[in-house]
Amino acid sequence: MQALLRYREYLERRMQLEVAKIRSDILECDDCILHCKGTIDDALQHLDRETVCGIDSTRYLHYTAYLTGMESLLESQNLRRKKLLQVLGRKQEKLLKQSVKKKALENLKEHRKEKYYRQVRKYEDKETDDASILKKARDTDK
């Protein structure tokens, strides 16, 4: 039973690590999204300033291509984040199931241990009772 309990603990730790990795990936994705939004805002401000002062068509095409690429990256990061959140939900469910299985096994182990100690106490009490009965019998025979 101890080996099975250690295995359940291992599975639970593994699931905890997977959940932590996905959370880390989500935070990384959030940082990338914020960076993309900031970069897009900066590029739009630069484009507005240059448009007011006058900008040639080549430079304008570079800005629009850059902005299109950044918006595409932002969109892909938002999609990645959404998928990671779905995976996180599934992994958390699996983690909960592993935790319940481990806890059930721990409870069973504790229950069996208590039962064993009760049996040992009962046996020792019986031995003590038998010893006292024998002692009384010897004392009454004298």
Under the banding of pLDDT at 50, 70 and 90, the label for residue 3 is confident
Average pLDDT over residues 83-95: 95
- Does residue 102 have a pLDDT over 80? yes
Q: Which domain holds residue 61?
A: 2-141
What are the backbone angles phi and psi of residue 55, rounded to the nearest 5°?
A: -135, 140
pLDDT at 52 over 90: no
- CA distances 107 to 12, 15, 23, 98, 114, Å, are 16, 21, 30, 14, 10
* Other C-beta atoms lying within 10 Å of the C-beta of residue 127: 10
pLDDT exceeds cutoff 80 at 36: yes
Q: Specify the number of domains making up the chain.
A: 1
Catalogue the long-range contacts made by 102-111 (C-beta closer than 8 Å, 24 or more residues apart): 102/5, 102/8, 102/9, 102/11, 102/12, 105/1, 105/4, 105/5, 105/8, 106/5, 108/1, 109/1, 109/2, 109/5
Task: Indicate the helix (H) or strand (E) that contains 123.
Answer: helix 57-141
The stretch 26-45 carries a mean pLDDT of 95
- Residues in contact with 45: Cβ distance below 8 Å, sequence separation at least 6, in sequence order: none
CATH of the domain at 6: 1.10.287.1700
The pLDDT of residue 142 is: 61
> Higher-confidence residue: 68 or 55?
68
Residue 31 pLDDT grade (very low, low, confident, very high; cuts 50, 70, 90): very high
- If we measure between CA atoms, which residue out of 11, 7, 2 comes closest to residue 97? 11
pLDDT in tens, 71-82: 999 999 999 999
